[in-house]
Chain A
């Protein structure tokens, strides 16, 4: 190979090492005994699973993991269902107030979630939603971004296809599920993946709305654990981090083609 062709590879490899190193260091620390953690070796001298056993027995990581899965799965299903449906209706029907509705939904994109924590908190404490699963997940049940995305894709479905189904006597619900949805499947899976990731990693709102430690999600639990229980016990903090990071990395590697395609698809719209 010519040196000019080799250069990009060298730069990319250095970059890749910088990308992977923090994770390698994290896993490495999690496998070390407490007295070895300030040792610079990347491969632990005497690797041990003691940290994992301690964390799984003494803290609530399993419960937090489970909470995160529940929250992320329910919100993702809801986001997919409602955003697709509303996007479809805005794209394919004419009715009174449609423009206003669409502007209303788009305007929510201008208001970041961080702005709504105060009214949401007051609302939740008024209605007794604090410290419940519902309290954690209600703000994420639908998204303006998803509606916008799905509307863009639904608009590409030919009107004739839907009308043909109507002439055949299909009712509107089956037309939506059996004709429209299969046409936009790639966009739906992209939306689903984004929704799952953002809810899995959400921190600010779950931090505010939960009080009891059994209702924390993984990020909130990890944050409390690292600054409280395990303060400065870096072998335990890194074990907790590994538990919350590795499953998602594995899922990502498994689904990476879809995820990357999804970003391209949504980014280009």
Chain B
């Protein structure tokens, strides 16, 4: 393997072979496959290494560091190490506890809602043979549009004198406060999140469904299974990998979306009314960029991290065990 490349020396007029005892570094670079390979690897990985270490890994560690310090952006000088004091403050702060609970609600309602609706639409689409493509496009449109725009459209639809209330009144119901109500706002916001992600789930589940061999359903028919039994004992177990995948993806997107949507949909733009819709990311944003308390905000970030990790492990354990067969 040493001399795969024809040496450029042969092209030259004098064909006197050069001394090979101590080939120079440059000569090795050009003519030795092993060196060429390492040169290629180093060149290609240089920028990615700088990126992953400098922009992803070190900042993560930095967040943990700041979380244990008293660190206000406005004050210069000492940033003393204060141990767990930021975490103690956090867990005594009702707003933070509320934001943690709300994030949990967003994730639970959101993931369950998008899974059931996504599966339902996929099953319906699987049943019909005409206009499948058209329906698929229509259900998918919300997913590609900007969350900010969607939030404002929903705010407009669910206003006290907006379209939905007009409709309710015309149908003989009473007017609802929706986003103005501490009890209802969080559900309107969750509904908007679910509405936007149905299409994505539908596509995943359609692919999952098309991978299930028709034979299994025929076998179930012979055994006299009802449609419901077929769904629970054939479809759901075989869709299990898709369910695990999309519930984890769903959780991560809801954490992100719970900032954008809350900031743009809640009445005061910061998790109102009465902090009933505030999520952890909104709390972090406010603490860091409106109160400039980087220490406390970083501590909240660390809690969010542990929270996500706990949920992911829980999802993987529960979802993969339940349907093991």
Contact = CB atoms under 8 A, between A and B. Distances in A.
Interface of A: 5, 8-9, 11-12, 15-16, 18-20, 22-23, 25-26, 29, 38, 40, 82, 85-86, 89, 93, 95, 101, 104-105, 107-108, 110-123, 138-139, 141-142, 144, 166-167, 169, 171-173, 197, 200-201, 203-204, 208, 218-220, 222-223, 226-227, 234, 237-238, 240-241, 244-245, 248-249, 252-253, 256, 259-260, 263-264, 267-268
Most buried by A among B58, B152, B154: B152
Interface in B270-325: 281, 284-285, 288-289, 294, 297-298, 301, 304-305, 308-309, 312
Contact of B256 (A113, A121, A142, A197): A113
9 contacts: A8-B128, A19-B139, A19-B198, A19-B199, A118-B63, A119-B63, A169-B4, A220-B148, A256-B140
A89 B45 CA distance: 8
Contacts of B220: none
A253 B137 contact: yes
Contacts of A268: 207
Nearest to B288: A118
A253 B161 CA distance: 33
A6 to B, nearest CB: 10
A85 B51 contact: no
A219 B52 contact: no
Given A15-B121, A223-B263, A203 B297 contact: no
Contacts of A218: 146
A89 B124 contact: no
Interface stretch (B33-41, B85-93, B178-186): B33-41
Interface string B126-157: 01100100011111111011111110111011
B124 A267 contact: no
Nearest to B134: A16
Nearest to A269: B245
A112 B59 contact: no
Contacts of A238: 152-153, 156
Given A248-B145, A259-B144, 4 more contacts: A23-B145, A118-B288, A223-B264, A259-B140
B156 to A, nearest CB: 5
Contacts of B305: 111, 115
Contacts of B152: 222, 226, 237-238, 240-241
Contact of B138 (A20, A123, A144, A248): A20
Given A11-B124, A116-B60, A203 B52 contact: no
B60 A115 contact: yes
Can you list the 9 inter-chain pairs with the closest CB atoms, starting with the nearest?
A119-B59, A172-B40, A219-B148, A241-B149, A264-B207, A119-B62, A108-B56, A203-B260, A8-B124
A56 B260 CA distance: 25
Contacts of B245: 267
A204 B41 contact: no
Nearest to B280: A114
A125 B145 CA distance: 31
B203 interface: yes
Contacts of B156: 25-26, 29, 234, 237-238
Interface string B198-210: 1110011011000
